[in-house]
Every structure is written in C-alpha cells, then in structure tokens.
Structure 1
Amino acid sequence: MAEKETLLTSEGLKKIEAELEELKTVRRREVAERIKQALDFGDISENSEYDEAKNEQAWLEERILKLESLLRNATVIDDDDISSDIVSVGSKVEIKDLDYDEVIAYAIVGSAEADPCEGKISNESPVGTALLGKKVGDIVPVQVPDGIAKYEVLSINK
C-alpha cells in the first residue's frame, strides 16, 4: 500500500527533523539507561521500572518510525509557490466569523503539522478545506456540528 503524501511547510519540516534528531540521539540513550538501571534491580517479572522503561522504549521507536515515514513522504511547500491572491497550503489567512463578528487568524498547513492551539489548521479540516482556493472578500460557508458557519476572507499572506 502506497503511503500518503505529507504536505509540510519549511517551518514544519524543520520542527519534525529536530524532534526526530532529539528522539534518536537524546531520548534513546535516556531510555536505554533507564532499562539498564531497572535490570540492575534484579527480577524483571515484577519490576515496574523495567516495564515502564520498556513501554517508553516501544513508544519512542514507534514515534521515530512515524516521523521517518512522514519525512520520506514529505512534499515541502516552497514559500515562492504560496500566493497571496488565493488561499492555499502555506497561506496565513484572517477570516471573520460572520455569526459571532469575530476575526480569527489561521495558517493553513498539512495535517502532520496542524495545531489549532497555535492557529495552524489542516488543509483537510472542514474550515481548511472550505478556505482553499478562496480570495479576499469571499464568503465561505462551512459545515460544522451546529449547522453552517459563515466566514469572510479578510486577508491572505505568505
């Protein structure tokens, strides 16, 4: 089965590469040391420190594999390819929620680097999908659990 293409901004690529490097060089060593210390306690059949360290090691190795796969299938959005005329992946947009008269700023990113708490929404999210291809002044209806929300695109930046 072919792996899914991962869209990343250059900032997202750097962040994932840094996390991967940290996991491989620092965290692996720390977990290996914890396992070694737990083994020094003797019998591992009832050794909670050993079990905990092994579980952390499993999580760590799984995370490393996931990040390596992400990077293998990554397509980095070139800043020069981001238009300020239409919303695309990599765009920073300001929209106005017409129901609540509220202005919201979002960066449209690939799903791998989406973090709504940081104002980064996925191009695959309902709002992200609805905004793609829109221009300043467009009114964008978005299906949300409570019905249909309406947003107006106020600005688009790189």
Structure 2
Amino acid sequence: MGERLTQGDIDKIQAEIDERKLVIRPKLLEEVKETRAQGDLSENFEYHEAKRAKNMNDSRIRYLEKMLKFAEVVDDSSADDEVGINNTVTIYIPEDDCEETYKLVTSIRGNSLKGLISIESPLGAAIRGKHVGDKAMVKVNDDYSYEVEIRKIDNSTTDEDDQIKRY
C-alpha cells in the first residue's frame, strides 16, 4: 500500500520531479562534465562532490516517482463544520487542561514540530470527521488513550509552508 495523498500533494510532487529533471539535472550533469575535465579523478574532490549531488538528485526523482506510482488518492474535501484534511483545528485536552492547535495533513506533509499532524497519526485519525463540540478518544497504544474535544475548525487550504518530507 502506498502513501495516502491528496491531488494537491500529487501536483506538488510532480512539480518537484519536473524541476529536478528539467532544471536541476542538466546543471548537475554539466558540473560533473566540467569537474571531470580537471584531471586526476582520484584526488578531484569537486568531481566526487558533483557526482554525489547528481546521484542524490536522481535518487530523489526515483523516490518521488515510486511514491506517485503507488499512491492512494484521498479526497481532501469536507463539510464546513467537519474536521478534514487541510483544516486547522483547535482541540481541548481535559487531562492536561490545555488547548492546542493543529493542521490536519497527509503523512507526506506531517511535521508535528510545526503543528502539522498526519491523518494517519492517532490524533489525526481520531479527530478526522468530527465537528465542533464533539469529543474523541485518542488511542496511543493498548495501555494509554486520552480524550480531546474539538473547540474550533478553520477551513484552510494547502500552504506553501506544507513541504513534502525528505526521506
């Protein structure tokens, strides 16, 4: 089973593939060619660095193409009063007596340090489809779970800050 991606994720991935193939790759190939012409390859650091950069670019292209090949497209639409992908949600955690705000995203854009939680995470799965005032039980593991209450839902769109994860 592949990654669960929205059409927006697929468009971003395809744009990165195109950029890497049509812009970055020709520059890297030219750099390898130029550094190779400088002489002894065994002691030519610039050549080895250029080759490494070219290989990393090619590896990223293969990774992204494989991701697209096996991707499962998920619908990112939701009702105005329902927690869905790309919505910013404020939740209340009674156990800690605190409110927290997160944006629900696909796993390829998840970054908990920036408040982006995956729809596949325990919290993301628990609150997806809920409405303001609903309570959800977040099961962390067999021994621990906690309750959250949906306080606010902001219907937002994909931001430029929502970057596709590196591998």
- The answer on 1:121 being equivalent to 2:117 is yes
Structure 1 gap segments, 5+ residues each:
none
- The answer on 1:9 being equivalent to 2:3 is no
- Equivalent of 1:132, from 101, 111, 128? 128
State, as a whole percentage, how many aligned pairs show the same letter: 36
- Equivalent of 2:66, from 53, 69, 73? 69
Which residue of the partner structure matches residue 82 of structure 1?
Answer: 78
1: CA distance, partners of 2:86 / 2:113: 17
1: CA distance, partners of 2:30 / 2:14: 24
TM-score by length of 1: 0.76
Deviation string 1:23-72 (CA, Å, 9 cap, x unpaired) is 11111012112211210111111211111111112211111011112222
CA contact 1:9–1:90 (8 Å) conserved in 2: no
Output the aligned Cα RMSD.
Answer: 2.6
Q: Secondary structure at the match of 2:136?
A: strand
CA contact 2:117–2:124 (8 Å) conserved in 1: yes
Structure 2 gap segments, 5+ residues each:
156-167
Q: Secondary structure at the match of 1:105?
A: strand
Deviation at 1:149, TM superposition (A): 5.0
CA contact 2:92–2:99 (8 Å) conserved in 1: yes
Q: Would the alpha carbon gap of residues 25 and 100 (structure 1) be closer, same or farther in structure 2, given more than 3 Å must change?
A: farther
TM-score by length of 2: 0.73
| More helix by percentage | 1
Paired residue total: 151
Which residue of the partner structure matches residue 58 of structure 1?
Answer: 55
2: CA distance, partners of 1:89 / 1:12: 11
